[in-house]
Structure 1
Amino acid sequence: MSIRIVPESERSPGVDHIAAVLLPVADSAYTRRAARLRQLADGHVMADYLCWAADLVSAQQATHEAAPLPEAEVQALTQALLDQTQAPLHSGHWPRSAHWHAVLGQLLLQLDLQPSMHSAPLQQAIAVLRHASQDQCDQWADALLAVLRGDEAPQDSALPEAGAAQILWSALSVYWRQLASQLPATGVAQAGEHRHLCPVCNHLPTGSLVMAGAQAGLRYVQCNLCESQWHVVRTKCTNCDGTEALDYWCLESEKAPIKAESCGDCHSYLKAFYLQADHQLELVADDLASLALDAEMEAQDVARSGFNPLMLP
Structure 2
Amino acid sequence: MSIRIIPLDQLEKSDKTTVEMLPLLFFPRLKNFYSRRAARLRDLAAKNPLGDYLRFAAVIAGAQEIVLYDHPLHMDLRDRLVQSAHEGKPPLDIHTLPRDMHWHRLLHSLIAELKPEMSGQALAVLENLEKASATELEALASALFAQDFAHVSSDKSPFIWAALSIYWAQMAALIPGKARAEYGEQHQFCPVCASIPVAGVVHMGNHDGSRYLHCNLCESEWYVAGNRCTCCDQTRDLHFWSLDSEQSAVKAESCGDCGTYLKILTQEKDPAVEPVADDLASLVLDARMEQEGFARSSLNPFLFPDES
TM range (shorter): over 0.9
Asked if 1 retains the 8 angstrom alpha-carbon contact of 2:28 and 2:169, the reply is yes
Residue 186 of structure 1 aligns with an amino acid whose one-letter code is K
Aligned twin of 2:66: 62
Aligned to 1:257: 249
Corresponding position: 1:6 with 2:10: no
Contact 1:28/1:61, CA 8 A, preserved across alignment: yes
Q: Which runs of 5+ in 2 are unaligned?
A: none
Matches of 1:16 and 1:80 in 2, distance apart?
24
- The alignment's TM-score, normalised by the length of structure 2, stands at 0.92
Amino acid at match of 2:241: W
1:269–1:305 contact (8 Å) kept in structure 2: yes
For 1:185, the equivalent position in structure 2 comes to 177
Q: CA deviation at 1:165?
A: 2.0
> 1:135 corresponds to which residue?
135
Question: 2-side partners of 1:16 and 1:246: how far apart?
Answer: 30
Q: 1:42 to 1:201 in 2, by over 3 A?
A: same
Instruction: Choose the corresponding residue for 2:271, options 254, 279, 285.
Output: 279
- 1:20 aligned residue: 24
Q: Quick one: distance in 2 between partners of 1:8 and 1:251?
A: 44
1:220 aligns with 2:212: yes
CA distance in 2, matches of 1:88, 1:32: 27
- Name the CA shift for 1:254/1:215 in 2 (closer, same or farther; >3 Å): closer
| RMSD between aligned residues | 1.7
Q: How many residues align?
A: 298
User: What's the % identity of the aligned pairs?
Assistant: 40
CA distance in 2, matches of 1:166, 1:16: 37
- Structure 1 residue ranges without an equivalent (≥5): none
Distance in 2 of aligned mates of 1:144 and 1:193: 23
Over 2 Å off, 4+ runs? 13-16, 158-162, 213-218
Equivalent position amino acid for 2:288 in 1: E
For the 8 Å contact 1:34–1:57, the answer to whether it is kept is: yes
User: In structure 1, which of residues 240, 250, 260 is the aligned counterpart of residue 232 of structure 2?
Assistant: 240
Query: Which whole-Å deviations, capped at 9, do the CAs of 1:125-183 have from their partners, x for residues lacking one?
Result: 11111111111111111111111xxxx68xxxx72322222211111111111111111
Which amino acid is 1:132 matched to?
A
Which residue of structure 1 aligns with residue 95 of structure 2?
92
Could you tell me the TM-score, scaled by structure 1's length?
0.91
Contact 1:20 1:231 in 2 (8 A): yes
